[in-house]
Structure 1
Amino acid sequence: MAGQRINIMELRSLIAFKQKGLSNRKVAALLGVNRKTVDEYIKRFKELGLGYGELLTLEGKDLEELFTQNSQTEKERYEQLSGQFPHFQKEMKKPGCTLQALWKAYIAKHPEGYKYSQFTWHYRQWSKRHHVSGKLTHRAGEKLFVDFCGKKLFYVDRHTGEQIDVEVFLGIMPCSQYTYVKAVASQNREDFISCLVHCLGWIGGVPYAVVPDNLKSAVSKSSKYAPILNKTFADFGQHYGCALDPTRPYSPQDKALVERTVTIVYQRIYYPLSNHTFFSLAELNDAIADKLVEFNDYLLSHGQGSRRSQFIDIEKEFLQPLPSGIYSIRNYKKATVQKTSHVFMGEDKNYYSCPHRYIGLAVEVQYNQDIVEIFHRQERIAFHKRSFKAGHYITVGDHMPSSHQYFNEWSPEFFHRRAQKVGPHTQEYIGRLIGQYDYPEIGYKQAQGILAFLKSYEPERLERACKRALGFEKASYHTLERVLQNKMDMEEIPFPEDRVTPEHKNIRGLFS
């Protein structure tokens, strides 16, 4: 600088006075220097594009260095660095990239360049001016934001003319803003997981974290610091090898990008589709998929290409590979092991066995479309192929006690004595029921239920119902229940006394 030099303390005072709005003349008088000196310093601030508040954050050494070199030389040095800021911004999105790594590459090419502290300070000031705050800088392939749009779409039932509202799922890779959209029947757990599976397949890889809003289908209990995920969503994360990190409640900045994208989806997908009528969910999703191609190919305003090109150039290579095999949603239910060594699964209305030593204990049933597993205190105690046949018993022989061992007071003789008090047909029906199973213990609970009808019906009606039901091929609690509810036992029907009872390997001699 050509004018009078001032020391670092005076320089800080000069900056502080100007920040307060004092004139150059007043500042010069307070510092006891020539006004032209103050004018030159102010001119230098403007050349570097530096604000007074920004200058005061610099350390003394860095602040002094800004004014020790020739003005033109310093301007050229800054322009050389600032020209690389867009490149640095792009590199900072890559996993593992740091400002220190960028500075080392920079100083290797320009040994006369800025020291690390000035380098980082200049970059951060540039970032602020270009709205590249820390909150909005996302690493490539690191996260997938997911949510449901606030507004719904719909299709029309072709047969009834009814308008069927549907939810719209949204998935966004925040680094490139690559976006996935899909209409789905509801926000329930099954539809949510299905959307995630299709989204990852569409992207072609797995991010390191999936970030949902605090959806009921993802979070059992929300928390600002440690939300509790539902087990199905947690199992999804384990299958795909990614972290699950719900946004914090009441923290809108965590999902600002999602909300902005939703607004654009309304404009570029919802509105164009509003002029069309769709007659199925599949038809609606086909139209969404067509618009989504245009959406991701649309050139972004900052001139760095489209969402698709940014995803391919920056993010795709950093995604984890998709796991082998298609994920099948896993459900979780609590149950108690019954006296028959089985647990009841209400969804399919059937029974699965587990070792008889767990009778009376609480267990957890985990199941998907193919298998059923039973756990006690995190240890798997039973594994079965899933059955969808209502009222069916799926039994592993080793789970059952000896057929001659009693469950407390339950045994064939126990039910024989009780049924005998009602009548011979009841006795025969319950004998057949228990005899149908390789493990008679399986029929005990149904027999108990049949005898419990005496609380609602007279013994004569139960006896007639059993007589009527003996004409059916198979004995069961539900068969007898329907006979009584429909008053079929009150109807007179021919019933020959010389009826031949179907043989079963366990019937002969059961109650003899």
Structure 2
Amino acid sequence: MALLLQGRSYREVVETAGCSHRDVARAKQVIGANGITSVEGVSDAEVAGWFPDGRRRVSDEYERPEFESVLQALKHRRHFTLLQGWRRYADAAGTGKKKYGYAQYCALFSDWARTNDLVAVLRHEPGRAMHVDWAGDTLDVVDRGDGSVVKAYLFVAVLPYSGAVFCRAYPDMKSEAWLDAHVQAFAFFGGVPQLVVPDNPTTSTHQRHKGDAERVVNARYQQLADHYQCAIVPARAKKPRDKAAAESAVNVVNLRVIGYLEGETWFSVSELNEAIDERVREVNRELRRADDSTRWERFETEEQHLLTALPDARFEEVAWKQLKAARNYHITADYQHYSVPYSLAGQLLRVRLTSRLSIWRFGGHRILRLGASSIAVGGR
């Protein structure tokens, strides 16, 4: 509102305040409706009355945690975690109001710290999160046939608590590479954290509204999260502290991996990945930090056992289509024709396409193979 009263444009307000165009329009509407000429002296109660959202009524039903003491414990007690703070809050005798769950407790603590403009070193909890991002620098791969050079892009994943790093090269940064990199990272660590924190690449998120800085996870990325039973929490735009661990890991990869390998010639991405594995092994297992521990030592002793076990089946992307069986009891999927039981002729069928050859059952009918895909057929 102050920026609007200064005569700033919508675009300037959005860039300065990090809000959406809808927020600016709403603030402009309130200014006009209430004849506001200055925000000096405006109380919190007045702001709450101008912008009601119902959250205050809901929050009144819950007992408010005391975050100041939690922050001091995080600063001065090395082994204190937010989980301990939440358990004390949940177990303490209260006023009879509801208690927040652990996830909401953590979110409220983060909001409280930002609101109070606190810059504190918050210790990450083991097994809770994995930060992921693409490294900014690339490596060149030479085609043996014609000598052409293509770029290899490096995916980086890090567990903030132990600092254990994973890195893998891909010929592009498309969705298929992004999803496969996560699968490879989970396998590398031998388990799945509770949260995955990506940046905001278009391969994993999409904008909900034009001009809105908020992004939501797309369907393909959500399939992977559902398969591994973890949550995807994209970092906020222009909030580097949300992804500080990933930025640090990218810097390590730029120095210790790309810096060592960029002077050599690579003829395939698989060959490059073998060299990357050696460099990552050195970063994780040989480089000792200030406390004389390695990343991998801390990972194995304090974090690995807290990761969720990998699912029995490897993730594969699934696409569903509705196709009608022709009178000759054939359907066409992925440019191929396949016969179905003659009793299904003329019916609308649900077809499940996957990228790997496998045999499944769906709706009482056996899945039959289509080239590089498998197909599951079921009735309406």
TM-score, normalised by the number of residues in structure 1: 0.47
Map 1:34-53; keep pairs closer than 5 Å: none
Q: 1:100 to 1:395 in 2, by over 3 A?
A: closer
Which residue matches 1:300? 289
Q: 1:353 to 1:211 in 2, by over 3 A?
A: farther
Q: 2:319 matched to 1:336?
A: no
Deviations 1:74-108 (A, max 9, x none): xxxxxxxx9x9888323427xx3228869x9xxxx
Which residue matches 1:290? 278
2 CA distance for matches of 1:185 and 1:144? Answer: 23
Larger-gyration structure (1/2) = 1
Indicate conservation of the 8 Å contact 1:343/1:352, yes or no: yes
SS of residue matched to 2:184: helix
| Amino acid in the other structure paired with 1:186 | D
| Amino acid in the other structure paired with 1:350 | H
| Amino acid in the other structure paired with 1:240 | Y
Indicate conservation of the 8 Å contact 2:130/2:160, yes or no: yes
Indicate conservation of the 8 Å contact 1:304/1:310, yes or no: no
Which residue matches 1:170? 156
SS of residue matched to 2:133: strand
Deviations 1:9-28 (A, max 9, x none): xxxxxxxxxxxxxxxxxxxx
Deviations 1:14-65 (A, max 9, x none): xxxxxxxxxxxxxxxxxxxxxxxxxxxxxxxxxxxxxxxxxxxxxxxx9xxx
Q: 2:222 matched to 1:239?
A: no
Report percent identity of matched pairs. 23
Q: 1:324 to 1:368 in 2, by over 3 A?
A: same
* Superposition deviation, residue 156 in structure 1: 1.4
* Superposition deviation, residue 309 in structure 1: 2.5
| Aligned-CA RMSD value | 4.1
Which residue matches 1:92? 81
Deviations 1:201-237 (A, max 9, x none): 111111112222233333355576671422x332322
Which residue matches 2:195? 209
Which residue matches 1:266? 254
| Amino acid in the other structure paired with 1:187 | M
SS of residue matched to 1:206: coil
Q: 1:263 to 1:329 in 2, by over 3 A?
A: same
Indicate conservation of the 8 Å contact 2:138/2:258, yes or no: no
Listed as ranges, the gaps of 5+ residues in structure 2 are: 1-68, 92-115
Q: 2:357 matched to 1:370?
A: yes
* Superposition deviation, residue 355 in structure 1: 8.5
Which residue matches 2:299? 311
* Superposition deviation, residue 260 in structure 1: 2.5
The counterpart of 1:281, out of the listed 264, 269, 287, is: 269
2 CA distance for matches of 1:389 and 1:177? Answer: 38
Indicate conservation of the 8 Å contact 2:141/2:151, yes or no: yes
* Superposition deviation, residue 173 in structure 1: 0.4
1 CA distance for matches of 2:342 and 2:201? Answer: 38
Which residue matches 1:192? 178
Q: 1:352 to 1:335 in 2, by over 3 A?
A: farther
SS of residue matched to 1:153: strand
SS of residue matched to 1:227: strand
* Superposition deviation, residue 356 in structure 1: 6.6
- The higher-RCO structure (CA 8 Å, 6+ apart) is 2
Indicate conservation of the 8 Å contact 2:197/2:243, yes or no: no
Q: 1:235 to 1:354 in 2, by over 3 A?
A: farther
Indicate conservation of the 8 Å contact 2:138/2:153, yes or no: yes
SS of residue matched to 1:146: strand
2 CA distance for matches of 1:216 and 1:337? Answer: 33
Which residue matches 2:19? none
2 CA distance for matches of 1:215 and 1:360? Answer: 40
* Superposition deviation, residue 278 in structure 1: 1.6
2 CA distance for matches of 1:87 and 1:324? Answer: 42
Map 1:392-471; keep pairs closer than 5 Å: none
2 CA distance for matches of 1:299 and 1:337? Answer: 62
Which residue matches 2:130? 144
Map 1:386-397; keep pairs closer than 5 Å: 386-388=369-371
Listed as ranges, the gaps of 5+ residues in structure 1 are: 1-61, 63-81, 105-127, 400-512
Instruction: Write 1 or 2 for the structure with the bigger share of strand.
Output: 2
2 CA distance for matches of 1:359 and 1:245? Answer: 44
| Amino acid in the other structure paired with 2:232 | L
Deviations 1:358-408 (A, max 9, x none): 947585644231358899xxxx58651322189xxx898x98xxxxxxxxx
2 CA distance for matches of 1:371 and 1:100? Answer: 45
Q: 2:368 matched to 1:385?
A: yes
Q: 1:372 to 1:264 in 2, by over 3 A?
A: same
2 CA distance for matches of 1:158 and 1:201? Answer: 31
Which residue matches 1:158? 144
* Superposition deviation, residue 182 in structure 1: 0.7
Deviations 1:292-351 (A, max 9, x none): 1222232334x36332222223312211122223x14123154432534544222x5334
| Amino acid in the other structure paired with 1:336 | L
1 CA distance for matches of 2:366 and 2:226? Answer: 20
2 CA distance for matches of 1:179 and 1:228? Answer: 24
Indicate conservation of the 8 Å contact 2:133/2:157, yes or no: yes
2 CA distance for matches of 1:364 and 1:225? Answer: 34
Indicate conservation of the 8 Å contact 1:337/1:343, yes or no: yes
SS of residue matched to 1:294: helix
Indicate conservation of the 8 Å contact 1:365/1:372, yes or no: no
Indicate conservation of the 8 Å contact 1:355/1:381, yes or no: no
Q: 1:298 to 1:333 in 2, by over 3 A?
A: same
Q: 1:236 to 1:389 in 2, by over 3 A?
A: closer
Q: 1:339 to 1:350 in 2, by over 3 A?
A: closer
TM-score, normalised by the number of residues in structure 2: 0.61
